[in-house]
Copies of this chain bind each other. A is one copy, B any other.
Amino acid sequence: MTPFKLTDELIGRIQLLIENRESGNLRSMMKEFHYADVAEIANELNEDEATYLIKLLDSEKTSDVLTEMDEDMREAVLANLSPKEIAEELEALDTDDAADIVGELPNDIVQEVISEIEDREHAKYIVDLLRYDEDSAGGLMAKELVKVNENWNVLKCVKEMRAQAENVTRVHSIYVVDDDDKLKGRLSLKDLLTTSTTTPIKEVYIPKVDYVNVNEKPEEVAKIMSKYDLEAIPVVDEIGRLVGRITIDDIVDVIREEADKDYQLAAGISQDVEADDSIWELTRARLPWLILGLFGGLGAAAIMGGFEEMISKHAILFFFTPLIAAMAGNVGVQSSAIIVQGLANDDLKGSIGNRLWKEMLLALLNGVILAILLLFFTWIWKGKLDTAVAISLSLVVVIVVAGLIGTFIPLFLDKRNIDPAIATGPFITTSNDIFGILIYFWIAKLILGI
């Protein structure tokens, strides 16, 4: 495949074509591009240009392009379409994608858009999906799937399947339900084709099937599907009825988003932002953590102010506060990151006590190595052994405490069902800065006896 590359030059050429209203050239140009690429192009245009471009495409491509576009741009383009036009796009989409788009529409037009959808079953499915929390298996699933009744025979089953499969892009699996629509198992296509046509499905289906509950968190669904290498998983409601199906492509998006979110939290960015967002959006995402850091710094300054009497005799102690704060912060981030990742991947076993004990040994080992280095350098630098010992000893204690805090906080948050990822980054750094400096001056004071 010649990989598609979005260049300024390409955008410029397209803008020129739009400006000159060269619809023929534009249409044949777009025909060559994948819908995901057209969406990338549309994201770079202004609203009017994007609307003009989208309206040129044939309806099936338009709908796919719409699902791939950035939310802001999609809303802008949809605002320029009539309810009937939107309904036509929804018709061409799978129910999960259609429901996502309907969920973003202004309330006053939803009713009209839905009523314009000609396929009434499709409309009903979309409305069904609107009821589910976005952050659940129900919010991810599509209604498109192939299901057969356990009481049918093979012949009827094959006939029904053909009709159903027309609406389903990729079949993956055939699910078996009872008269109450409860999920009973799945059917192997091979068994179906090698069994006599009068055999009841009851006798050939495989009763073992993985499924998830409609209220399951997307992250959990992702874990199950990637652990068991599933490409699709059926979703059941509270009483076991088959209500939808989640496919792996949606899960890939969940995994990416989850990873991006944790990464941003660790970096002190509180909302889902991108480099291309406005300065105002970026400020809202970044400033709160910086203010937290500011107060942490004021706390540290206040602590140091409390030890001001030491400054005349032991100024050097004050020179090492950034070092102490940095080490406390780094160790805290390291230990919390490992715990957060272990929790996310579900591979933390053993008690909190064991974790803390292990982290203590680990921090002690690292702390002693670092303290020896520090002792050596400070002693050479200032020639005062007692100060060097005081600073180095404090460093060991600070590192151990920082490691314990970094280990404990995410575990504690997780036990309380709070996302432990918020414990990484500025939160841990700031609290460790304060604790670190406090411990440091206490110990120094103890050893130097002032």
Taking Cβ atoms with an 8 Å cutoff, the residues of A that contact B are: 1, 3, 6, 8, 34, 36, 44, 170, 209-212, 224-229, 231, 248-249, 251-253, 255-256, 259-260, 262-264, 266-269, 273-276, 279, 282-283, 286-287, 289-291, 293-294, 296-298, 300-302, 304-305, 308, 311, 315-316, 318-327, 329-331, 333-334, 336-339, 341-342, 345, 347-349, 355, 358, 361-362, 365-366, 369-370, 373-374, 377, 381, 424-426, 429-430, 433, 437
Contact = CB atoms under 8 A, between A and B. Distances in A.
8 contacts: A36-B228, A264-B337, A275-B341, A282-B362, A289-B334, A296-B326, A301-B322, A321-B322
A211 B2 CA distance: 9
Contact of A334 (B44, B268, B358): B268
Contacts of A283: 362, 365-366
Nearest to A363: B286
Contact of A249 (B212, B229, B264, B365): B229
A164 to B, nearest CB: 15
Contact of A323 (B209, B300, B324): B300
Given A249-B229, A327-B294, A337 B276 contact: no
A298 to B, nearest CB: 6
Contacts of A345: 260, 274
Nearest to A335: B286
Ordered nearest first, which 3 A-B pairs have the shortest CB separation? A297-B323, A259-B259, A267-B337
A324 to B, nearest CB: 7
Contact of A341 (B34, B224, B260, B321): B260
Given A6-B349, A290-B327, A226 B338 contact: no
A343 to B, nearest CB: 9
A155 B207 CA distance: 36
Contacts of A229: 36, 249
Contacts of A347: 274-276
Contacts of A262: 259, 263
Contacts of A252: 225-226, 248, 251-252, 255
